[in-house]
Structure 1
Amino acid sequence: MKDTWNLEKLYQSFEDPNFIKDFNRFQEVIKEYNDFSPKFLTYDSKEQTLIDFIKLTIEFSLLTDKLYHFASLIESTDATNQTAIKYITTFQMSFSELAKTETQYKKWLRDFPNIDETIDADPLLKEHRFHLHEIIQNAKYMLDEKTEILISKLRQSGSSSWGRLQSLLTSTLAVTYEGKEITLSEVRNLAYHHDAETRKKAYEAELAAYKSIDKSLAFALNGIKGEVNTISEFRGYLSPLDQALVQSRMQSSTLEAMLQVMTDYLPIFRQYLKRKAELLGHKNGLPFYDLFAPVGNITTTYSIEEANQYILKNFKTFNSRLYNMADKAFREGWIDYTPKKGKVGGAFCANIVSIKESRVLTNFTGAFGDIITLAHELGHAYHGEAIFKESPLNSDYTMPVAETASTFCETIVNKAALKDAKDEEEKIYLLESSIQDYTQVIVDIMSRFIFERSVFEGRKKTVFDENELKTLMLDAQKQTYGDGLDENYLHPYMWACKGHYYSGGLSYYNFPYAFGLLFAKGLYAKYLQDKQAFVNIYDDLLAATGQMTVENVAKLANIDVSKPEFWKGSLEIVKEDIDLFLKLTEK
């Protein structure tokens, strides 16, 4: 089977007549969009104006979704593709042309007389009630039209360019390992290798390679965080974190409750890390290069086809919709599997509303962890299936709930793998693999949160060079991993390889992973209590994520995420796995 994805449902190529037709229509819609500008200076015919603008916004959303995804997906597997880069730049510059009209619309809507009466009188507006009220609520953060236009245009040569630079540098970085050049993704994947010396050499090669790009990445990170600080303050947010919470549709009390409970449970994770260090022969805590070392024994490596079949077998135990979606994804080429030069590292899933399908990128090498990653990304695709039934304007779910379905699917496969374990060594391996992931999502995510908060605070007064950023990262790792890691072997460049830090529009993309894991654990516990009842509400819960706050989404499953008790319950589920690992590995 092919290990690359099929994008033909979008377009055959950039020369495809359909691409050219849609691109031309995209440019026409921008003009039509801006033709609404004078209508937002008056409330004459306000009801029809609002209805017509919603219809045009939906058309524009679908066009943009299709065109932009095609270009960005091509760039994600070929970072030097100049045609893709050109179109991405064109789209981003075109978006800046909408700033004046968008600002006028939001302020017009904010002051719209008797808005609820107008909404109640029309089915289309009723369908978009949450969307409209969210715009009204967030309009207080809008600046004047000229400033909004200026910000939009400056971002193209500011944070957007800095972010693309980070992606380009890391995806094309040549790492010298054992006398040959390999990609950054390939050398990072060696962290999972069964041979201890290989892991250590890969870690040393990775750190050495960053030295050729760390100054450029430091400039990029400083530029982005400085831009966000400035714009966030001018808009009236308390901080970039406050802005991230508004974008996440999450209350600060929910985040605070979750982070406090995570902090309380850090000693449990340190017990696991120290036990793993002992098992691998280390005396001063676990060196970072052995963080992902396999413990226990599993001799199986998986082909792509075997990985697909394993996922299908276990997804079928949840419901037929999940199984059928994954089967379609495998058969119809939704997935780009393997690493190559110019391809971005890590993994992601793109929900493409315009074709009601998703596309998944992974860097599959055959390890069991790659199956878990694939299951995770297919969880995002399943979330997409739920929102594809909604209007495009109701399908924009926020960061925290974005990780819910993905983590739920991980849990399905992990639990099945533990049950299928052939012997105790394999059980230890599988259990420890899960705990590895939990440690990343709780402990490492906490270190990333602390690091990003430190950078934002520091950028108010100074610019950080690459060495100062390394020090901030090491400090964050010491605060969270504590004596679980050997402080002589930490990872000072974790800020360089994580693309999440390099967005001007999406800060703090770290705590949502913790929310996703722990919310999914709580949901899985509900599933075990009453499987049929849960399956019936699950899709509705996912579909609602584009039209509710995270607190209200959780209430659909009778969960209160603003209380520490929920987070304690979820972390107790994680603790059970750690306790079992400690018991199984007692000497």
Structure 2
Amino acid sequence: FGSTIENKMLFFDLWWKKQVDDKNAKRLIKDAGELSDYLRYKRLVARYALTEPEEKIINTLDVTGISALVKIYDKITNAFTYTVNVNGKKKIMGREQLTTLVRNKNPRIREAAYKSLLTKYQDNKGVIGQIYQNIVLNWKNEGIDMRGFKNPISIQNISNDVDDKTIDVMLEVCKKNAPVFQKYFQQKAKRVGVKKLKRYDLYAPSKKSAAEKNYTFDQGTKLVLDSLNRFSPKIAEYASRVFNENHIDYSLRHGKRDGAFCSTPLPYITPFVLINYTGKSRDVFTLAHEIGHAVHSVAASEKSILVSDAPLPLAETASTYSELLLYDNISNQISDGEKASMLSDKIDDFYATIGRQSFFTLFEIEAHNQIANSITVDDISNIYRKNLKEQFGNSVDISDDFGIEWSCIPHFYHSPFYCYSYSFGNLLAVSLFQTYKNEGDDFVSTYTDILSAGGSQKPEKLLKDHGLDISKSKFWQSGFDYIKKQVDDLAKL
């Protein structure tokens, strides 16, 4: 059905990309107002478009080709069950339940959970590895050989409307700052009660965790809105609309879906937010995160529906920024024990969304380059194992079984190079927050303007118009300067 819709809509894209000459395109773009950048982007991808018959053939073949491979991967891995001994009892479970065990207080259970996961994928590496190799080769054959993209990651960069240089610089800064997280993991070993973390212990809880404070939904809401209001009453007013119009579903009930999300059906409709609020401090941060997404949508609501949505690299800006504002507000209202627990969770999140995702992307770059030269599944695992050692240095012991972990990451199969968007969006938000801490209230209007732009401008241009150059390492380093300070602050608690 999806390919049928795409084929029906191809005529405009192909007309604009192929049949309108440069002179007329420039004239139309100049007079298109807020849609100028939208049309510019359409012209940008024109150089990678094929003829209409060729595009239709690709769309049709993808259904039984690349899309089918991804479905087969999902079907195989979703059927996996895992056996783990928990407190002397053998339990069989799916991956979602297994994932909760890697945060268990018992190190034997954590290790058993990881070993069950990795052994299952290692036992099936032949077919799962072959699927990945064919996905990578398809990415190359269509994207580079047929369409003419410069390199594998450029395909995703063009899709995100960001320059190769910007992503290269961002990834290089992430790689350079791996020691920031390594220092944190060395601290965490002491909190977990071991001399040195094993990779199995990465998400282990601290032995001396403070008694967790509970927050009613009204208390959590007040904390979030107060944090936003301290920064900008206008931003807080955007957030208040979600609550005032009863566009939030927070209660726990049987049959309700897990997780949290924010949905904006149309620009002029106040966003809807779903969370499962249990009263834990992490739920308050989840509330801030999703309300941040809502704020972004409301801020850009006056833009055309074609450009109101923020592009993928900017999609996490307001959500992460709102969490940072919340922590900045709440950290002075809690005990040192609570602060240590909260800060540890926060740095864990920074690692998961910035450090880990950037190294995922560095692995993908190497894997795509090597698979094009014909390598084995074991070779891919060796590349991944080397990547882990660069990422963790001497801070964490990496056992050989983690070499196959790459095959457990669905994003590598579903959407190559998607992972850097998490690093980009979260590090961007942290860097913007650091700018706010340096500039104070003068930064508020800049931040509001960035959100209000939605997806109407290319990220580099949008930020540069406000004096922020994301093609330079200095900008990204400011985000890591903030994270480094949090790691140092945690060491003092």
Q: TM-score, normalised by structure 2?
A: 0.84
CA distance in 2, matches of 1:341, 1:463: 46
Q: Deviations over 1:119-170 (max 9, x none)?
A: 556xxx3332111122222211111222211111122223334444555555
The 3-state SS of whatever aligns with 1:114 is helix
Say if 2:417 is the partner of 1:508. Answer: yes
Q: Which amino acid aligns with 1:535?
A: V
Q: Which residue of 2 aligns with 1:425?
A: 337
Q: More deviation in 451-460 or 484-493?
A: 484-493
CA distance in 2, matches of 1:156, 1:337: 39
Specify which of 403, 412, 424 is matched with residue 325 of structure 2: 412
CA distance in 2, matches of 1:107, 1:304: 57
After TM superposition, list the pairs within 5 Å mapping 1:180-579 onto structure 2: 180-208=91-119, 210=121, 217-233=128-144, 234-283=146-195, 285-295=196-206, 296-300=208-212, 302=214, 305=217, 310-320=223-233, 322-323=235-236, 329=242, 332=246, 334=248, 349-353=262-266, 356-358=269-271, 368-422=281-335, 424-462=336-374, 464-465=376-377, 467-488=378-399, 491-503=402-414, 506-529=415-438, 532-579=441-488
Q: Is the 8 A contact 1:473 1:492 kept in 2?
A: yes
Per the TM alignment, residue 351 of structure 1 is displaced from its structure 2 partner at its CA by: 4.2
Per the TM alignment, residue 270 of structure 1 is displaced from its structure 2 partner at its CA by: 1.3
Q: Deviations over 1:433-462 (max 9, x none)?
A: 222122223431232012211221133133
CA distance in 2, matches of 1:528, 1:248: 28
Q: Which amino acid aligns with 1:115?
A: A
Per the TM alignment, residue 237 of structure 1 is displaced from its structure 2 partner at its CA by: 0.8
The 3-state SS of whatever aligns with 1:457 is helix
Q: Which residue of 2 aligns with 1:155?
A: 62
Change (3 A) 1:459 1:146: farther
CA distance in 1, matches of 2:288, 2:413: 26
Change (3 A) 1:382 1:175: farther
Per the TM alignment, residue 230 of structure 1 is displaced from its structure 2 partner at its CA by: 1.1
CA distance in 1, matches of 2:364, 2:149: 17
Q: Which amino acid aligns with 1:264?
A: K
Q: Deviations over 1:519-572 (max 9, x none)?
A: 212221333355544333323212324122222121243212222222222211
Change (3 A) 1:530 1:568: closer
Q: Which residue of 2 aligns with 1:114?
A: 24
CA distance in 1, matches of 2:124, 2:262: 27
User: What is the RMSD of the two structures over their aligned residues, measured on CA atoms?
Assistant: 3.5
Q: Which amino acid aligns with 2:155?
A: Q
CA distance in 1, matches of 2:66, 2:363: 19
Change (3 A) 1:565 1:94: closer
Q: Which amino acid aligns with 1:548?
A: Q
Q: Which amino acid aligns with 1:150?
A: I
CA distance in 2, matches of 1:339, 1:498: 30
Q: TM-score, normalised by structure 1?
A: 0.72
Change (3 A) 1:325 1:168: farther
Per the TM alignment, residue 394 of structure 1 is displaced from its structure 2 partner at its CA by: 1.4
Q: More deviation in 355-364 or 562-571?
A: 355-364
CA distance in 1, matches of 2:177, 2:418: 21
CA distance in 1, matches of 2:102, 2:164: 36
CA distance in 2, matches of 1:485, 1:521: 25
Change (3 A) 1:264 1:463: closer
CA distance in 2, matches of 1:376, 1:226: 37
Unaligned 5+ residue runs, structure 2?
none
Q: Which amino acid aligns with 1:436?
A: D
Per the TM alignment, residue 321 of structure 1 is displaced from its structure 2 partner at its CA by: 5.4
Q: Which amino acid aligns with 2:46?
A: A
The 3-state SS of whatever aligns with 1:393 is coil
The number of aligned residues is 485
Per the TM alignment, residue 213 of structure 1 is displaced from its structure 2 partner at its CA by: 6.4
The 3-state SS of whatever aligns with 2:397 is coil
Specify which of 51, 54, 61 is matched with residue 144 of structure 1: 51
Q: Which residue of 2 aligns with 1:14?
A: none
Change (3 A) 1:341 1:332: closer
Q: Is the 8 A contact 1:97 1:149 kept in 2?
A: no
CA distance in 2, matches of 1:206, 1:394: 42
Q: Is the 8 A contact 2:215 2:280 kept in 1?
A: no
Q: Is the 8 A contact 1:158 1:223 kept in 2?
A: no
Q: More deviation in 228-237 or 126-135?
A: 126-135
Change (3 A) 1:354 1:556: closer
After TM superposition, list the pairs within 5 Å mapping 1:8-47 onto structure 2: none
CA distance in 2, matches of 1:214, 1:386: 47
The 3-state SS of whatever aligns with 1:237 is coil
The 3-state SS of whatever aligns with 2:209 is coil
Q: Which amino acid aligns with 2:427?
A: L
The 3-state SS of whatever aligns with 1:394 is coil
CA distance in 2, matches of 1:364, 1:494: 32
Q: Which residue of 2 aligns with 1:20?
A: none
Q: More deviation in 246-255 or 570-579?
A: 246-255
After TM superposition, list the pairs within 5 Å mapping 1:128-143 onto structure 2: 128-143=35-50
Q: Is the 8 A contact 1:348 1:377 kept in 2?
A: yes
Q: Is the 8 A contact 1:329 1:335 kept in 2?
A: no
Q: Deviations over 1:234-259 (max 9, x none)?
A: 11111121222222222233223322
Q: Which residue of 2 aligns with 1:71?
A: none
Q: Which residue of 2 aligns with 1:583?
A: 492
Q: Which residue of 2 aligns with 1:21?
A: none
CA distance in 1, matches of 2:359, 2:255: 29
Per the TM alignment, residue 497 of structure 1 is displaced from its structure 2 partner at its CA by: 4.2
The 3-state SS of whatever aligns with 1:449 is helix
Per the TM alignment, residue 483 of structure 1 is displaced from its structure 2 partner at its CA by: 1.4
The 3-state SS of whatever aligns with 1:376 is helix
Q: Which amino acid aligns with 2:488?
A: D
Change (3 A) 1:173 1:317: farther
CA distance in 2, matches of 1:156, 1:445: 29
Q: Deviations over 1:85-127 (max 9, x none)?
A: xxxxx23443234446632442123x15433444556xxx333
